[in-house]
Amino acid sequence: MTHPTPPTHRGSLEKREAKLAYIMLIPTFLIVFSIVLGPLLANFWISAKPVQLGDLRPASVMVNEALRPRPKAAGEEVVLRYRVRNSSQGDAIENATLVDTLPDGLIIGDVPAPCTLTNRTVRCEFGTLEAKQRLDVLIPATVEQAYLDNGVRPRDVKAMTDGDAQNVLTSLEFSFDNFRKVFNGAEFWTVLKVSLYYTIFGTAGALVLGLFAAQLLNTSFKGRNLLRGLFLFPYVAPVIAVAFAWVLLLDAGPGGTFNAMLMQMGATDGPINFLGQRAIPYSIFGIQLEFPMALTTVIVFEAWRYFPLSFLFILARMQSVGGEMYEAAEIDGATPLQQFWSISLPQLMGILAVLFLLRFIWTFNKFDDIFLLTGGAAGTRTLTVDVYEQAFAVSNLGAGAAVAVVVFLVLLVFSLIFFKFSPQDDG
């Protein structure tokens, strides 16, 4: 008698199960690959091309047709004119063609060179149309009474055009000009530095505020749920709403509420331009230093807007810690601070690490907040804002994609570092 062993080959039931799983996952795969992973890779492609925003509209053959002079009686000699041009300012079009069906009631004369007439269809093959090139095709014709009667004019049937335009996006030419441009600019390293400042302090701020808020609400009292709901407002409200509310609140002009408050309380003499001033110089012991005003403001906004998230997670973790440990500590005479330091904090380390990791990456990715608050001005341009500025403000898609590639690579490095050092549990 042999010992029963588990089957080594995959049974049909198992195969069926796997097949079902793949079928259920295919839609997700398709959409994620085409909308997320595809574009991610496409950035590498675009970043190696000298492509401008205007290049997205490819060169095409434009045509305008007219019958001159306007016929009034049967038997008149007229000319059917096609005015053809290349819409592009820089790219040639190869194999440019024009196809049109002529209206009834016209006796067509000699059709000129690149064109041929079969039945009532005109077909012209122009070959290569240089950039901005225009040319006219003139076809003589005689008007019959039928044309005047039936009311169908040449323009009523649209002339079809076609041609192979050189599309920068799909060509096989590559260059590193975009990267050269991005890295050579002295600005790039400033932008990178600002990005790191923003990410580190924004993350730390949101975590510390979240930890404080969780401490506040980790006791039960009347109105606790109300306060918890209120504390989540900044996170739940749309970013445009809160960003514009901050912009108006911090306005340095005559209508700025916060500056008016500070001045009324005697805290400052004149209005502070929280979002528009790059740096406020000050000196300590004779050393001249600068306080990055606008950058600090956007960091404070980031901490304000995202502390609710860390607050929620930390509070949930705190409430899952049993009361017994605190009771035991209480009996042993541990003070509240000792209890926090020796019991709460170690218990929270896991979630704090995970939160730090996630928030760090998301803060680094953040675009909307800074874009809406300052537009990247006054020393607040981060890498993500730079992507937008290069691609859409300067209209250089290639350079924008190059910055996007840098963003992606930096993120990749962060992720590798984090996953190497992050704890395995909690989530």
Partner 1 sequence: MRLTWVTGFGALAGALWGAVWMIVVGILLMLVSGITTQPPVGFALLIGAILGAAGFLILAKFKDRQGLGVLSLGALAALLVVTLFQPFGVSMGTGPFYQTVAMVIWAGLVGLSLQMGLTGYTGEMVSRYRFEVLAIRLLKGLGFVLFTIVVALPFYVMVMTSLKSQQTLLRNPLDFSIDLSQGSASLFRSYIELFTDYNFGTFLMNSALVSVLTVFITLAFAIPGAYAVARLRFKGQALLSRSILLIYMVPAIVLVIPLYAVFSQAGLRNSLTGLLVVYPATTIPVALYMLQGYFRGLPSELEEAGLVDGLSRVGVILKITLPLSLPALASVALYVFMIAWNEFLFAFMFLDDLDMFTLSRGVVSLNSSEVPRQHLMAGSVVATVPVLVLFLWFERYLVSGLTAGSVKG
Q: Interaction with partner 1 in 106-165: which residues (CB under 8 A)?
A: none
Give the nearest distance from C-beta 257 to partner 1 in angstroms.
Answer: 5
Alpha helices in 239-344 (DSSP H): 239-249, 257-264, 293-320, 323-331, 336-339
Q: Interaction with partner 1 in 250-269: which residues (CB under 8 A)?
A: 254-257, 259-261, 264-265
Give the nearest distance from C-beta 240 to partner 1 in angstroms.
Answer: 5
Q: Interaction with partner 1 in 72-111: which residues (CB under 8 A)?
A: none
Give the CA diameter of the chain.
Answer: 117
Half-sphere exposure of 410 (CA within 13 A, CB side): 20
**Phi and psi at residue 4, in whole multiples of 5°?**
-70, 130
Q: Token digits for 368? A: 């909307």
Contact range with partner 1 by CB under 8 A, out of 63-71, 81-89, 186-194, 329-337: 329-337
- Of these, 239, 272, 293, 373, which contacts partner 1 (CB under 8 A)? 239
| 313 close to 353: Cβ distance less than 8 angstroms | no
Nearer to partner 1, 200 or 232 (CB): 232
Give the nearest distance from C-beta 256 to partner 1 in angstroms.
Answer: 6
**b/e per residue 78-89 (b: at least 16 CB within 10 A):** bebebebbbbbe
Q: d(Cα 244, Cα 308) in Å, to the nearest integer?
A: 19
**Strands 287-291 and 280-284: what pairing?**
antiparallel
Q: What DSSP designation does 6 have?
A: -
| 206 close to 310: Cβ distance less than 8 angstroms | yes
The verdict on 204 binding partner 1 (CB under 8 A) reads no
Q: Interaction with partner 1 in 364-383: which residues (CB under 8 A)?
A: 364-368, 372
Q: Please count the residues of this chain forming the interface with partner 1, following the rule CB under 8 A.
A: 94
The verdict on 246 binding partner 1 (CB under 8 A) reads yes
Contact range with partner 1 by CB under 8 A, out of 23-31, 73-81, 113-121, 181-189: 23-31
The verdict on 46 binding partner 1 (CB under 8 A) reads yes
The verdict on 411 binding partner 1 (CB under 8 A) reads yes
| 61 close to 96: Cβ distance less than 8 angstroms | yes
- Of these, 58, 114, 276, 350, which contacts partner 1 (CB under 8 A)? 58
Cα–Cα distance list, 418 to 286, 311, 406, 424 (Å): 40, 22, 18, 11
The verdict on 282 binding partner 1 (CB under 8 A) reads no
The verdict on 36 binding partner 1 (CB under 8 A) reads yes
- Of these, 122, 165, 242, 295, which contacts partner 1 (CB under 8 A)? 242
The verdict on 214 binding partner 1 (CB under 8 A) reads no
- Of these, 80, 96, 211, 309, which contacts partner 1 (CB under 8 A)? 309
